[in-house]
Amino acid sequence: MDMKTFSEYLSTRYNKELKWYDDKSIRNKFWYYTFQISLIILSAITPLLALSGLKWPTTITASVVAILASLTKFLNLQENWFNYRSVCETLRKERRLYDAALGDYANAADKQQFFVDRVENLISREHTLWQATASTKEKKQN
């Protein structure tokens, strides 16, 4: 693979995928932390409201706790955060190995083609895992 084609691949595919996984990881981490912190605070406040005899605020905080806990589980925020971060860091590692000509890159006849193959396999494997997970979830819901 010539360097022009490889540079184009890096800018049009690799960098965009890397950014996508990084952004998704950051977003899922943010929402997971937001939900968890809210759950902790609301769970601590609910018994205090109950003891003070405030029925509506107690009911509302208890309901919000149930909703947040259910959404956290349903949206798989922590699992998605970990999976997206794992793929992102693996993509970054692959680039470092390529740049330093380490590991399998040290003996590769065409480093650029080898890099593209490994990156595409990684993305494909993650996509296949996502499909399998989505399919399993759908079967459980039916």
DSSP state of 23: H
pLDDT of residue 44: 97
pLDDT of residue 138: 67
pLDDT of residue 133: 72
Going from the first residue of the chain to its last (142 residues), give the mean pLDDT of each consecutive group of 10, the final group possibly shorter: 93 96 98 97 96 95 96 93 96 96 93 95 88 71 64
DSSP 43-108: HHHHHHHHHTT-HHHHHHHHHHHHHHHHHHHHHTHHHHHHHHHHHHHHHHHHHHHHHHT-GGGGS-
pLDDT of residue 95: 96
pLDDT of residue 141: 66
pLDDT of residue 121: 94
- The string over 88-115, giving b where at least 16 C-beta atoms fall within 10 Å of a residue's C-beta and e elsewhere, is bebbeebeebbeeeeeebeebeebbebb
